[in-house]
């Protein structure tokens, strides 16, 4: 299958592009490398030293003989995007290429606008290019579990059947996102759903939970293929951050009470879920939604697991409940469905001691690269960035 992976230089996209290429698909990465410049602007770096994308791809081809084409450009640049799609003629577009940090989107008005314009316009451009150039192509779009928020009822996969005043319908599940970033994903969802209805496009929205881990079969083939692993207060996510904090002796930063519960998955399952979605395209006109996570945890539970695994390795791990920089429920009901990908054959890698050990070992290996000043959160939901500290606007 011919697949374009937008955002293929990023955390999920890099692992996925290699995985699909390894499985024999004809893969092109489309990325404007903006994530590398956001890191520069915020003066942060991934824990793991990632090579320039061209070197990564050269090494990949040397090792496997399976070339991956590179298209450097912006999904928001329609002439570039449409020409790339026209020329490559993909059968699937896996769309990761968005600004994906909730704290980044809450830094300031400028960052909120940048996030929503980047994400909504890029996604809309893909929809128009599909309509006009590749109407049979399958869009595999990365959404987020955070679109649903934390309702006091079970979370279904995209749709809910409701009876109201004696009538019944199956409707999009209500959305209560918790940041301007998460809101951008809701806007994307609405645009994709509409495009499927009016133009007969086919799309799968993968509402992914928080991803953890760094190693996949392909990225561990060579040091030059290593994936990024963010630990800073803007782009770092819960479990990855906790492992790196444990490695450098920083107290684990549980925000508030720590009862915030989310869906989580191993990056080895991310790549597999995408492959499954590509191999089983939606029908023309169909807008499918799958919840892409394998287990639910509260942040306190994760911190306890990291503490236990770290202690076994001889690390002195403590947990600190820091003031929550976000506005979110810290104790709530959470029960989300996730059976559709399992029904299609996903065999999950559940969070295990061996995964925690391996992640802690990676963290220990690179811990000299950690900038301790970047660990505590500096962006608050109420006031944005603490500017003099974060140096970001
Ligand atoms: P990332 O920041 O590591 O990678 C995103 C990539 O997209 C970067 O390489 C960036 O340069 C590129 N990009 C951004 N805007 C672009 C544009 N306009 N045109 C071309 N390229 C662009 O992020 P990630 O963690 O790999 O996340 C990928 C996707 O998966 C995002 O859409 C995110 O919302 C979703 N997701 C991520 C997680 C997670 O835990 N990391 C969880 C759920 C969903
Ligand atoms: N949290 C802590 N301590 C930390 C970091 C986070 O307690 O040091 C808490 C947050 O307050 C939140 C939860 O952990 O309640 C998750 O936060 P996160 O930063 O791990 O993840 P989030 O901001 O939700 O965003 C990440 C990705 C995003 C993706 C989302 C999936 O950056 O791209 O969409 O996970 S989900 O959470 O399912 O919406």
Q: How many residues does the chain have?
A: 393
pLDDT for 8 beyond 60 = yes
Q: Whose Cα sits closest to atom 16 in ligand 1?
A: 97
Mean pLDDT within 249-277: 98
Give the CA angle between residues 341, 345, 347 to the nearest 5°: 90
- Answer yes or no: are the C-beta atoms of 382 and 327 closer than 8 Å: yes
pLDDT for 321 beyond 90 = yes
CA distance 143 to 100: 10
Token duo for residue 52: 């320039």
Dump strand ranges (E) for 197-313: 202-208, 210-212, 252-255, 261-266, 287-292, 295-298
Distance, CA 278 to ligand 2 centroid (Å)? 26
Q: What atom of ligand 1 comes closest to residue 9's alpha carbon?
A: 9
Q: Whose Cα sits closest to atom 35 in ligand 2?
A: 210
**Burial per residue of 230-242, b for 16 or more beta-carbon CB atoms within 10 angstroms, e otherwise:** bbbbbbbbbbbbb
pLDDT for 225 beyond 90 = yes
Catalytic residue from among 6, 144, 150, 204: 144
Distance, CA 197 to ligand 1 centroid (Å)? 26
Mean pLDDT within 180-184: 98
pLDDT value for 176: 98
pLDDT for 382 beyond 50 = yes
pLDDT value for 392: 57
pLDDT for 264 beyond 90 = yes
Q: For the CA atoms of the chain, what is the radius of gyration?
A: 20
Mean pLDDT within 206-222: 98
Mean pLDDT within 384-389: 67
Q: Which CATH class is domain 2-378?
A: alpha beta
Token duo for residue 41: 């602007």
Model confidence pLDDT, tens digit, residues 265-280: 999 999 999 999 999 9
218: Cα separation from own chain's centroid:
18
Task: Tell me if residue 144 is catalytic.
Answer: yes
Tell me the best of 70, 96, 103, 289 to mutate to test the pocket of ligand 1, counting ligand atoms within 8 Å of each CB and taking the most.
96
Distance, CA 237 to ligand 1 centroid (Å)? 13
pLDDT value for 160: 98
18: Cα separation from own chain's centroid:
16
Tell me the best of 255, 307, 337 to mutate to test the pocket of ligand 2, counting ligand atoms within 8 Å of each CB and taking the most.
255
Ligand 2 environment, Cβ below 6 A: 100-102, 144-146, 209-210, 237-238, 241, 253-255, 260, 262-263, 299, 326, 328
Q: What atom of ligand 1 comes closest to residue 13's alpha carbon?
A: 26
Token duo for residue 227: 């994936």
pLDDT for 138 beyond 60 = yes
Mean pLDDT within 358-382: 98
pLDDT value for 388: 46
- Answer yes or no: are the C-beta atoms of 348 and 269 closer than 8 Å: yes
Distance, CA 285 to ligand 1 centroid (Å)? 26
Q: Name the percent of the chain lying above pLDDT 70.
A: 98
pLDDT value for 186: 98
Q: Whose Cα sits closest to atom 26 in ligand 2?
A: 210
- Ligand located closest to 122 CA: 1
Task: Tell me if residue 185 is catalytic.
Answer: yes
Q: Return the domain boundaries, the chain.
A: 2-378
- Ligand located closest to 269 CA: 1
Distance, CA 373 to ligand 1 centroid (Å)? 24
Q: Kindly state if the Cβ of 122 falls inside 6 Å of ligand 1.
A: yes
pLDDT value for 51: 98
pLDDT for 359 beyond 60 = yes
pLDDT for 386 beyond 90 = no
Model confidence pLDDT, tens digit, residues 194-212: 999 999 999 999 999 999 9
Q: What are the backbone dihedrals phi and psi of residue 330, each rounded to the nearest 5 degrees, phi first?
A: -100, -10
Model confidence pLDDT, tens digit, residues 85-135: 999 999 999 999 999 999 999 999 999 999 999 999 999 999 999 999 999
Q: Structure pTM?
A: 0.98
| DSSP letter (8 states) at residue 331 | S
CA distance 68 to 60: 8
Catalytic residue from among 11, 173, 181, 334: 181
Distance, CA 180 to ligand 1 centroid (Å)? 15
Please give the mean pLDDT across all residues of the chain: 97
How deeply is 153 buried, as exposed, middle or buried, from its count of CB atoms within 10 A (0-12, 13-18, 19+)?
exposed
| pLDDT confidence tier of residue 177, bands split at 50, 70 and 90 | very high
- Ligand located closest to 208 CA: 1
pLDDT value for 389: 46
- Answer yes or no: are the C-beta atoms of 123 and 191 closer than 8 Å: yes
Mean pLDDT within 81-87: 98
Distance, CA 339 to ligand 1 centroid (Å)? 24
Token duo for residue 139: 């869009």
Q: Whose Cα sits closest to atom 11 in ligand 2?
A: 255
pLDDT for 333 beyond 50 = yes
Q: Whose Cα sits closest to atom 12 in ligand 2?
A: 260
Q: Which residue has the higher pLDDT, 69 or 389?
A: 69
């Amino acid at each position: 299958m011919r697949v374009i992976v937008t955002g293929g230089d990023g955390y999920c996209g890099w692992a996925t592009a290699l995985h699909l290429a390894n499985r024999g698909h004809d893969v092109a990465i489309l990325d404007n490398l903006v994530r590398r410049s956001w890191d520069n602007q915020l003066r942060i770096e991934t824990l793991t030293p990632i090579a320039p994308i061209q070197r990564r791809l050269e090494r990949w081809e040397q090792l496997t003989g399976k070339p991956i084409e590179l298209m450097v450009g912006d999904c928001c640049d329609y002439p570039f995007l449409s020409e790339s799609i026209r020329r490559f003629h993909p059968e699937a577009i896996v769309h990761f290429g968005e600004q994906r940090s909730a704290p980044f989107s809450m830094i300031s008005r400028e960052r909120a606008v940048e996030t929503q314009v980047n994400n909504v316009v890029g996604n809309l451009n893909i929809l128009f290019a599909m309509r006009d150039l590749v109407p049979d192509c399958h869009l595999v779009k990365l959404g987020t579990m955070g679109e649903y928020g934390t309702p006091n009822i079970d979370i279904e996969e995209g749709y809910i059947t409701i009876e109201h005043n004696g009538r019944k319908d199956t409707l999009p599940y209500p959305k209560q996102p918790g940041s301007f970033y998460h809101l951008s994903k809701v806007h994307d969802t609405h645009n994709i759903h509409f495009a499927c209805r009016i133009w007969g496009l086919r799309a799968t929205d993968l509402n992914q939970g928080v991803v953890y881990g760094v190693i996949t079969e392909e990225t561990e083939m060579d040091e030059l293929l290593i994936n990024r692993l963010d630990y800073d207060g803007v782009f770092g996510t819960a479990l990855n951050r906790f492992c790196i904090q444990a490695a450098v002796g920083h107290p684990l930063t549980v925000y508030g009470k720590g009862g915030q519960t989310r869906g989580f998955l191993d990056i080895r399952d991310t790549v597999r879920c995408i492959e499954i979605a590509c191999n089983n395209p939606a029908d023309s006109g169909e807008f499918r939604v799958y919840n892409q996570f394998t287990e639910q945890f509260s942040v306190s539970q994760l911190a306890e697991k990291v503490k236990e695994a770290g202690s076994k390795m001889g690390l002195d791990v403590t947990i600190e409940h820091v003031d929550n920089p976000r506005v979110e429920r810290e104790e709530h009901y959470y029960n989300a469905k996730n059976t559709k990908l399992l029904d299609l054959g996903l065999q999950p890698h559940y969070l295990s001691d061996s995964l925690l050990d391996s992640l802690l070992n990676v963290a220990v290996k690179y811990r000299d690269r950690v900038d301790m000043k970047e660990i505590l959160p500096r962006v608050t939901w109420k006031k944005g960035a603490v500017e003099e500290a974060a140096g970001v606007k």
